[in-house]
Amino acid sequence: SMKRLTMQEIWLETIGVDPLLYLEAPKLRALIETQFPDVPLPKSELPWDDYFFLLFLNKIEPEFKRWPLLMVTEFPAPLAALSTLKVSNPRVCERFEVYVNGVELCNAYNELTDPSEQRRRFVEQAKAKQAIYGYSLPTASRFLEALDKGLPPSAGIALGVERLLYSLFAVDDPFF
């Protein structure tokens, strides 16, 4: 049967850390430096999500093989992207991923349909990319125009068909 854990629960279970206590980039970097010195950190400062994924991919996701079928829910709010924040706990967003034998099979989220909030996020992300990486992406004007016309509550899921096939045919390491 599928094991369902929040991102907070999976971090606590695998590395004993509550990620919701480290929602600022300097705090998360300091955590990695002091408690996980084997996780490679560049000298330059990074955005919060880069620190999150450095720790997640090096220490947490490799442990997902413990659960043959795993659903990870309630990602920290900085990873919301196009998803909504949970009303009862805005420190997390309404998205999930399903893993089969440690390999991500699909990801899904509750679609953010508020055009003003989406604009605010896009502006914030654009400023961060410019400051950190020195480049900017084109404005998602057609997407924002569509949101302005109205989008009913909706959700979506992206399924990796090749990953589904790997899991159905019990391929141990499909990427090598």
- What are the tens digits of pLDDT across the range 15-33? 999 999 999 999 999 999 9
pLDDT at 105 (0 to 100): 92
The rounded mean pLDDT for the chain is 91
| Contact between residue 104 and residue 159 where contact means Cβ atoms under 8 Å apart | no
CB distance 96 to 70 below 8 Å: no
**How confident is the model over 153-167, as pLDDT tens digits?**
889 899 988 888 877
Which single residue is written with the structure tokens 């093989």?
A: 65
Q: Per residue in 69-91, pLDDT tens?
A: 999 999 999 999 889 999 999 99
The pLDDT assigned to 33 comes to 97
CA dist 158 and 36 (Å) reads 32
d(CA 126, CA 129): 5
Strand 155-159 to 85-86 pairing: unpaired
* Cβ atoms 148, 114 nearer than 8 A: no
Residue 176, pLDDT > 90, answer no
Q: Write the DSSP string, 131-167.
A: HHHS--PPP-HHHHHHHHH---S-EEEEE-HHHHHHH
Place of tokens 């480049």: 135
DSSP strands (E only) in 3-159 = 3-6, 69-76, 85-86, 89-100, 103-110, 155-159
In this structure, are residues 71 and 107 in contact, taking their beta carbons and an 8 Å threshold? no
Which pLDDT score, from 0 to 100, does residue 125 have?
84
Question: Helix, strand, coil: what percent of the chain each, to 5?
Answer: 45, 25, 30
**Residue 61 confidence class, pLDDT cut points 50, 70, 90:** very high
